[in-house]
Amino acid sequence: MEILGIDIGGSGIKGAPVDIKRGILAADRHRIPTPQPSKPEAVAEVVAEIAKYFEWQGPIGCTFPAVIKDGVVYTAANVDKSWIGANGQKILQKTTGCPVLLLNDADAAGIAEMKFGAGKGHTGVVVVVTLGTGIGTAIFVNGHLIPNTEFGHIEVRGKDAEDRASDRIRKEKNLNWRKYADRVDEFLGRLEALFSPDLFIIGGGVSKKHEKFIPLLHTQAEVVPAQMLNEAGIIGAARAARSLVK
């Protein structure tokens, strides 16, 4: 069975129909740059354009980089602040004419990794961390997600963790891999002190270059790169939206 997965990010909005049994894309991704400013109406139009591109009429699973409860957006660290308080799910339902499930982007990526990728079959406490424009987290206990964890915003050295260890900061500050690994290490060390996870899965854009920094980390728990790369959000969102299938 196929569900349309859409990943709303700070720079691009990407979508593809997903074979949710096998966890693979059923067609090539379609990507449209995120409108700036990234206000709800403008973003919703792009989501509708992607649905139209695939002539989609069924359920849609859609990620958003924020806390989402029952479709309502509660935060907006890296998107337009006018999203806060909006029922993003309802807005997308209206513009696409399809049933939509809206969920946090790191949660969606985590769902994909746990079901089809690096976390497959793992029990215990697994922490998925996405390093991108921001830092997203998803925590699984025996395969069950605790939704909307926002550990990218814990304070590290007086700053938001994502303002020290996201991939955006690595690029902005032109950090070499050792310096970047130190920052990621310190962040993971903090999570380890709080949760004693059994496994860390590192996703987000920079996970493509995992061999440059994962070997330099010192956590007690094993750290592995994500396997679904930039398709994790799309696949995880589609998988989560199977609850919409009647």
Based on the shown chain and the rule CB under 6 A, indicate whether residue 65 belongs to the binding site for ligand BGC.
yes
Based on the shown chain and the rule CB under 6 A, indicate whether residue 7 belongs to the binding site for ligand BGC.
no
- Using DSSP's 3-state secondary structure scheme, residue 208 falls into helix
Residue type present at position 134: G
**Residue in 127, 121, 110, 111 with CA at minimum distance from that of residue 221:** 127
Based on the shown chain and the rule CB under 6 A, indicate whether residue 203 belongs to the binding site for ligand BGC.
no
Q: Choose, by CB under 6 A, the member of 152, 203, 225, 233 that binds ligand BGC.
A: 152
Nearest distance from residue 7's CB to ligand BGC, in Å? 10
Question: How is residue 53 written in tokens?
Answer: 């591109």
Q: Choose, by CB under 6 A, the member of 4, 44, 71, 75 that binds ligand BGC.
A: 75
Based on the shown chain and the rule CB under 6 A, indicate whether residue 93 belongs to the binding site for ligand BGC.
no
Distance, in Å, from the CA atom of 52 to the CA atom of 46, rounded to the nearest integer, reads 10
- Please answer whether residues 246 and 3 qualify as being in contact, where contact means their C-beta atoms are separated by less than 8 angstroms: no
Nearest distance from residue 1's CB to ligand BGC, in Å? 27
Based on the shown chain and the rule CB under 6 A, indicate whether residue 71 belongs to the binding site for ligand BGC.
no
**Residue in 53, 160, 39, 152 with CA at minimum distance from that of residue 105:** 152
The residues binding ligand BGC (CB under 6 A) are 65-67, 75, 77-78, 104-106, 130, 132, 134, 136, 150, 152, 162
